[in-house]
C-alpha cells in the first residue's frame, strides 16, 4: 500500500547511512543465520513460480516484541506522512499505513540491519547485494475490515526490476481471512490497472489513468481465477516473501477482538533501477539526484547487505 499520488516522501536523514551497523561489514550473527536457513531451494523455486511464499517461524519473540513497541510508537506519535484510511490521530478505530519509519524507530533500524531479513530477501531475489527501499507499517484496529484493493506494487513506484522483494510479517495472529492474499503467478502476467486505495479500488489511482497495455484485475473473490488465490493463516514470527509484481490484496481485519498489525520490509537487488513515470509515482521522492535508469545505490536507497 502507498499514499496518494503527489505525496512527497521526505529525504531520509544522512546520519544513518554511514552507520557501522551495516551488516555487510561483518559476519552475520547466529540469529540472522537462523533466519536465512528458511530460504531453502524449494522455497526459492516456489517464490519464482508463484510470486509469493509463506515461511513459518522465521523470527522469534526477541525481534517481535521490540517491533510491536515500534509499531505502537507510530500510532502514538504519528508521522505527518501517515496515510489514514480510517480514523485519524487519537481515534479509537484506525486503519493507517506509514513508510520510512526506520530513521525514527530504533527497533525497525536494528531489525533491518541485524535480523537477517535483508539477507533473506537477497536469497529469494538471487541477488548478491540488496538495497533497502523502505519499511511500512500497516495497522488495523479490531474489526476494521476495510479492504486493501488488489494491486501490484512496482507499477506505482519510481522503480523497475525483477529483484524487488517485500517481506510482510504480522505482529498479531492473522487468520487466512485477514491476511494478504496473492494471485498465483501474476508476477509473470504483465501489468494490471492501478486502483485507488481511497475508494476501495473503484477508480484509477492516477488521474491520467493507466498505460494502454494495463490489464483489468480479474474477479479474484468469485470468478474462475479465485482458485489461483494464495493465502495462509499466519502467526507472529511467520512472513510472506513476495515479488514486486505479484498481484495482492487484503479483505481487512475480520477479528473483533484484536488488532492486525503488520510490517513490510522492502528490498531490491542488482537489476533494479530508478524509474521516472510521466503520470507520477506513489510514493514520490524529492531531494535526490537519481535519474531514470540509474542504479539505486544512494543515500535514498542504501545497500544493507552484500554476499
Please, are residues 237 and 170 in contact by the beta-carbon 8 Å criterion? no
Residue 121 has pLDDT above 80, yes or no: yes
**What CATH architecture is 8-306?**
Sandwich (2.60)
| Average of per-residue pLDDT across 128-133 | 96
Report the 10 Å Cβ neighbour count for 304: 24
Over the stretch 263-294, which tens digit does the pLDDT of each residue have?
999 999 999 999 988 777 777 777 888 999 99
Q: What is the pTM of this model?
A: 0.87
Please, are residues 269 and 201 in contact by the beta-carbon 8 Å criterion? no
Residue 40's pLDDT band (boundaries 50, 70, 90)? very high
- The Cα–Cα gap between 169 and 151 comes to 18
Residue 305's pLDDT band (boundaries 50, 70, 90)? very high
Alpha helices in the chain (DSSP H): 30-36, 41-50, 61-76, 106-114, 117-125
Q: What pLDDT, on the 0 to 100 scale, is given for residue 22?
A: 42
Q: What Cα–Cα distance (Å) separates residue 33 from each residue in 27, 29, 127?
A: 9, 6, 17
Length of the chain in terms of residues written: 307
Q: Could you tell me what percentage of the chain is helix, strand and coil, using 3-state DSSP and rounding each to the nearest 5?
A: 20, 25, 50
Give the domain ranges of the chain: 8-306
Residue 77's pLDDT band (boundaries 50, 70, 90)? very high
Q: What pLDDT, on the 0 to 100 scale, is given for residue 8?
A: 44
Higher pLDDT, 13 or 117: 117
Q: What pLDDT, on the 0 to 100 scale, is given for residue 18?
A: 34
Residue 120 has pLDDT above 90, yes or no: yes
| Average of per-residue pLDDT across 84-111 | 93
Q: Which residues of 91-125 are buried (b: 16+ CB within 10 A; e: fewer)?
A: eeebbbbbbbbbbebebbbbbbbbbbbbbbbbbbb
Amino acid at each position: 500500500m502507498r499514499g496518494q499520488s503527489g505525496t512527497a516522501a521526505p529525504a531520509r536523514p544522512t546520519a544513518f547511512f554511514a552507520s557501522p551497523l551495516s551488516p555487510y561489514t561483518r559476519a552475520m550473527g547466529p540469529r540472522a543465520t537462523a533466519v536465512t536457513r528458511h530460504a531453502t531451494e524449494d522455497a526459492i523455486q516456489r517464490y519464482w513460480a508463484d510470486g509469493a511464499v509463506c515461511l513459518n517461524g522465521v523470527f522469534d519473540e526477541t525481534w517481535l516484541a521490540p517491533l510491536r513497541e515500534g509499531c505502537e510508537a507510530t500510532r502514538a506519535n504519528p508521522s505527518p506522512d501517515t496515510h489514514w484510511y480510517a480514523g485519524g490521530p487519537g481515534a479509537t478505530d484506525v486503519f493507517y499505513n506509514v513508510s520510512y519509519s526506520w530513521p525514527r524507530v530504533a527497533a525497525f533500524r536494528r531489525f533491518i540491519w541485524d535480523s537477517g531479513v535483508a539477507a533473506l530477501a537477497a536469497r529469494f531475489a538471487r541477488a548478491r547485494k540488496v538495497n533497502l527501499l523502505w519499511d511500512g507499517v500497516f495497522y488495523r484496529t479490531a474489526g476494521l475490515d476495510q479492504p486493501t484493493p488488489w494491486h501490484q506494487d512496482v507499477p506505482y513506484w519510481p522503480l523497475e526490476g525483477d529483484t524487488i522483494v517485500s517481506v510482510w510479517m504480522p505482529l498479531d495472529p492473522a487468520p487466512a481471512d485477514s491476511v494478504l492474499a496473492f494471485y498465483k503467478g501474476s508476477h509473470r502476467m504483465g501489468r494490471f490497472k492501478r486502483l485507488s486505495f481511497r475508494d476501495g479500488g473503484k477508480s484509477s489511482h492516477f488521474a491520467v489513468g493507466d498505460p494502454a497495455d494495463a490489464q483489468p484485475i480479474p474477479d479474484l473473490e468469485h470468478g474462475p481465477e479465485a482458485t489461483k488465490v494464495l493465502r495462509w493463516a499466519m502467526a507472529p514470527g511467520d512472513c510472506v516473501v513476495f515479488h514486486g509484481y505479484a498481484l495482492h490484496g487484503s479483505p481487512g481485519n475480520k477479528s473483533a477482538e484484536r488488532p492486525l498489525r503488520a510490517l513490510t520490509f522492502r528490498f531490491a537487488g542488482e537489476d533494479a533501477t530508478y524509474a521516472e513515470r510521466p503520470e507520477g509515482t506513489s510514493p514520490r521522492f524529492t531531494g535526490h539526484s537519481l535519474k531514470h535508469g540509474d542504479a539505486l545505490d544512494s543515500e535514498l536507497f542504501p545497500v544493507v547487505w552484500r554476499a
